[in-house]
Structure 1
Amino acid sequence: MIPAMTTDRLILREYNDADIDDYFRLKSDKETMYYLQDIQLFSKEEADADFAKILVDMISEDRKFYFFHIELKETHEQVGSIGYTVVDNTPIGKIVHAGYFIYPKFWSKGYVTEAFKRVLEYAFTENDVYRVTAGCLAENIGSEKVMVKCGLIKEVEHLDWEWHDGRMKTRLEYRLLKNEWQGQ
């Protein structure tokens, strides 16, 4: 179990059994999950199955998912979720793909940037991560701003890459290597 991480305004902590309803509410919220429709949940049964996998993975020796419940320090209100998925484990460190999603009422307040900076610190200093990638649709300007503010470097722009909301959309991909993070 990873100890809770804090920032000036937030607590980032591992999920636990008591979080299932919050998890379902967040991942089934249509506006929150607009850009992540492939992982959006539509039923309590889906949520229960998805959440059970997360809890099992958390205690696995070959853990794949490092996603954290984000809450406000002062009120413990749920803000969203942030973290990364291990896509490869190389001799020089883990290759991971990061992501985040928060309720719209918390957008444009700097919470994701604050949380992502802390997740990057954990990844590079405590979890043997070598490379972090993240991406978003080009129209998701807020998400791209988070990546830039956190020091990620744009690698590619995939024109008409993904079918989303009835049309083809362009996807942006960013990266940050451990030595680049250390040099910031």
Structure 2
Amino acid sequence: MIQLQTERTIIRDHNLDDLPTHHSLFSDKKVMYYLQDIATHSLDESKNNLLSAITEIQKLDRKYYFFRIEVKRTGEHIGEIGYTVTTVTPLGNIVEVGFFIRDDYWGKGYTAEALKEVMRFAFEENNVFRISCGCIKENVGSEKVMIKCGMIKEADFKSVVWHNGEIKDRVEYRLLKDEWKTVTQGMHL
């Protein structure tokens, strides 16, 4: 079981006791506005989602690293973060990272703090070579998190995502392991 810590957060694998707050977060329409494809609409859907994450923990060839973000001081569940291994290479794994956090914690630095730690874990402990992340361009909060964590803009896609009845733009960022080393020298982690 993976458990990471930052100054203000605990980032950990899930367990069955997480279901009530897991459901509350995944079924929150405001929080999940840009992630409607993974939002849940019933307790059963949330339970299945949670069980999938828990089942993955036991796999030797684990491809999904989905973590709960808690406030260290209180244990309060405030968000989710994680990554999916999309390609295995001799240089290391290529992964896609994602995150979301309760709206009462938006703009307070918790997501960037958690992402920096997850990137550190991925690069330094989990044989990751490349991390990519993207969002709908109007989701400026998520884009700011990527920038704050030293990610490099790689693409600006026009009219590529169908969301809430309209076509929208998407931005993509990346960070390679060698770039991570440079980034960590220039920022306090």
Give the 5 Å matches for 1:67-86.
Answer: 67-86=66-85
Distance across 2 between alignment mates of 1:137 and 1:49:
27
Q: CA RMSD in A?
A: 0.8
Distance across 2 between alignment mates of 1:77 and 1:52:
20
Q: Which residue does the alignment assign to 1:175?
A: 174
Aligned with 1:183: secondary structure? helix
| Matched letter for residue 93 of structure 1 | G
Q: Which residue does the alignment assign to 2:59?
A: 60
Q: How far off is 1:65 after superposition?
A: 1.1
| Matched letter for residue 13 of structure 1 | R
**What CA deviation, in whole Å up to 9, does each residue of 1:14-54 have, x standing for no partner?**
11111122111111110010000111111111122222111
Q: How far off is 1:165 after superposition?
A: 1.2
TM-score normalised according to structure 2 size: 0.94
| Matched letter for residue 20 of structure 1 | L
Aligned with 1:53: secondary structure? helix
Q: Which residue does the alignment assign to 1:47?
A: 46
Runs (5+) with no aligned partner, structure 2? 184-189
Distance across 2 between alignment mates of 1:48 and 1:119:
24
| Matched letter for residue 85 of structure 1 | T
Distance across 1 between alignment mates of 2:112 and 2:182:
19
Distance across 2 between alignment mates of 1:37 and 1:12:
23
Q: Which residue does the alignment assign to 1:123?
A: 122
Q: How far off is 1:71 after superposition?
A: 0.7
Distance across 2 between alignment mates of 1:43 and 1:64:
26
Give the 5 Å matches for 1:89-100.
Answer: 89-100=88-99
Q: Does 1:164 align with 2:163?
A: yes
Q: How far off is 1:176 after superposition?
A: 0.3
Aligned with 1:146: secondary structure? helix
Q: 2:27, 2:39 within 8 Å by CA — same for their partners in 1?
A: yes
Q: Which residue does the alignment assign to 2:35?
A: 36
Aligned length: 183
**What CA deviation, in whole Å up to 9, does each residue of 1:73-113 have, x standing for no partner?**
11111110111111111111111000001110000000001
TM-score normalised according to structure 1 size: 0.97
- Identical positions, percent: 49
Q: Which residue does the alignment assign to 2:153?
A: 154
Q: Which residue does the alignment assign to 2:86?
A: 87
Q: Which residue does the alignment assign to 1:13?
A: 12
Distance across 2 between alignment mates of 1:91 and 1:21:
40
| Matched letter for residue 50 of structure 1 | N
Runs (5+) with no aligned partner, structure 1? none
Q: Which residue does the alignment assign to 2:111?
A: 112
Q: 2:31, 2:101 within 8 Å by CA — same for their partners in 1?
A: yes
Q: Which residue does the alignment assign to 2:187?
A: none
Distance across 1 between alignment mates of 2:7 and 2:69:
13
Aligned with 1:136: secondary structure? strand
